[in-house]
Structure 1
Amino acid sequence: MRLLLSLLACLLLQLLSSAQAETFKVGVELQPYMPYSDVQNGQYLGYGRDLLDAFAAYQGHVFVYQPLPVRRLLSDFLDDRVNFKYPDNPRWNADQKQGHTLYYSQAAAPAIDGVLVKPQYLGKGKARLYRMGTQRGFTPWPYLEDIKNGRIILIQANQIDSLLAMAMSDRVDGVYLNPQVIRHQLYNSRKNESLVFDPDLPYQDDHYFLSSIKHPEVIKQFDAFLSNQAEWVQKLKERHGITDPLSSD
């Protein structure tokens, strides 16, 4: 697949009449989050890598990826130690971003975050959710009021495997994460139907974006790439198994 993508990127590059190569450092998350991204042996992988590589080749840029823990990624980005942040979202850490002018791209990938439960609890409603698990650093936006008033206890873990184990053993009543990521994790562990996304519970229908502080011109180029190569981008999503969980569960 990587060879095919590289070939396609080269063909796209040939279509560009004039391109001045620039090298940029892209800050990415140092955590397993397939099919969106992963870092293995220091190498950035997944949909994000293939999309950004193709854009860089198309535009004549060189992207160097800097995997960082989520919190440090934000601070390095705001302190100009990396030129771009991916993924990003205007709502994430909005208070820490105050005082900075950020430029966000068009949506680069869909990102629904919601609650996954055991199949026997599907459709049972929010009342049974007392202990909710999520990955450390994630914000369960639709449940913040319930967490604040103590109706829901939020339990965080560093690893997705730990969250899945908690849900399987009923130590949490549901897991708040991206259903695409959970599905990928369960498929690899051959536990496909152990947890299912419950669309009747509150969820956040959102997207991932590329962001920059000092390079709005590259963000505009990325927007043009997403628009001009929309069909190819859609096929890339499908190749990585990134679909709308509301229509596939």
Structure 2
Amino acid sequence: MRNNQWWLILLYILGGGLAHAASQKTFVVGCQDINYYPHYNFNLTEDKGYAWAVLEAFAKESGHQFEYRSYPIKRLQRALAEERIDFAYPDNADWRSLHEQIDSRKTLSKPLISAISGTMVLAKREFSHMSQFRSLGVPHGFTPVHWLERIAINRLNLFEVNTPIAAINLVLKDRVDGADVEYNVAQYLLATPEKKQKVTLAKNLPHGPVTFHLSTIKQKDVIHQLNDFIVSNQALLTQLRHYYQLLEPQDLRDRL
């Protein structure tokens, strides 16, 4: 559980603990309209998760202000292409884009975090091999990068659902073989110890790091500032990961 020490650290970060720049400019950050807490849930009114805390800490230091707008996943890149937003989060160069014409124009920040990509399964499938999988639950708009080859040759049935918890519930009901949900998110959604014992990361399936970046087309200077902030504040980012109980791939490898 989070303790008061970490809560005080967060208040310090977001309440003015970093230096303020003299001038402020407001930028619009387009975000995925999905509950991917503790990484992010920009529909919350207060604590929106780790990514929000990092961006707000950066805003305090740089003097910028961020306004957050949520978009369905498949519309987020369109909003960036049409310049209705200044930034998109999260983004990754390896993800499929519905607007491939803008990919070459985008600038991505350094990673805000390295998440754990994998397939969540019932405990009985923990050591199953890829050839044994026939179905996968995927939040609508997500790119299941580890499964693209099998999807291309029609060896896997995709069940698109609206939310990560819906994908997890399909696994719990044994209606799909696995769910493409990030490890930390799955741990948060599996709220009870009983559920956490039932669902686990598939050890024999591809899993590993997937990095979350802030992307832009026009605001490259701000991305460069954010990159400097990330490099200079690694201790702060580590504190925030601890506060949000986020494991990175190396942390998980140490536990397996």
TM-score, reference length from structure 2: 0.88
Shift of 1:125: 1.4
The answer as to 2:17 corresponding to 1:11 is yes
Structure 1 residue aligned with 2:3 = none
**How big is each residue's C-alpha offset from its partner over 1:76-135, in whole Å with a ceiling of 9 and x where there is no partner?**
111111111111111223461324511111111112221111112211211221111111
8 Å contact 2:128–2:202 — kept in the other structure? no
Distance 2:238 2:11 in 1: 17
8 Å contact 1:5–1:54 — kept in the other structure? no
3-state DSSP of counterpart to 2:196: coil
Aligned sequence identity (%): 27
The answer as to 2:181 corresponding to 1:177 is yes
Shift of 1:63: 0.8
Structure 2 residue aligned with 1:246 = 253
8 Å contact 1:44–1:65 — kept in the other structure? no
8 Å contact 2:54–2:237 — kept in the other structure? yes
Structure 2 residue aligned with 1:223 = 227
Q: 1:237 to 1:84 in 2, by over 3 A?
A: same
8 Å contact 1:113–1:177 — kept in the other structure? yes
Q: Structure 2: which 5+ runs fail to align?
A: 1-5
Structure 2 residue aligned with 1:165 = 169
Structure 1 residue aligned with 2:124 = 120
More off after superposition, 41-50 vs 129-138: 41-50
**How big is each residue's C-alpha offset from its partner over 1:181-226, in whole Å with a ceiling of 9 and x where there is no partner?**
1111002686222210123202352200011111111101101111
Distance 2:212 2:45 in 1: 22
Structure 1 residue aligned with 2:30 = 27
3-state DSSP of counterpart to 1:45: coil
Structure 1 residue aligned with 2:94 = 91
Spell out structure 1 runs of 4+ moving beyond 3 A: 1-4, 39-44, 245-249
What RMSD in Å do the two structures reach over aligned CA positions? 2.1
**How big is each residue's C-alpha offset from its partner over 1:52-97, in whole Å with a ceiling of 9 and x where there is no partner?**
1110011111111111211222111111111111111112234613
The within-5 A match list for 1:43-122 is 45-94=48-97, 96-99=99-102, 101-122=105-126
Distance 2:158 2:208 in 1: 17
More off after superposition, 216-225 vs 199-208: 199-208
Q: Structure 1: which 5+ runs fail to align?
A: none
Distance 1:207 1:124 in 2: 26
- Look up the equivalent residue of 2:254 and give its one-letter code: S
8 Å contact 1:179–1:197 — kept in the other structure? yes
More off after superposition, 93-102 vs 20-29: 93-102
- Look up the equivalent residue of 2:12 and give its one-letter code: L
TM-score, reference length from structure 1: 0.90
Distance 1:34 1:186 in 2: 12
- Look up the equivalent residue of 2:40 and give its one-letter code: S
3-state DSSP of counterpart to 1:220: helix
User: How many residue pairs are counted as aligned between the two chains?
Assistant: 246
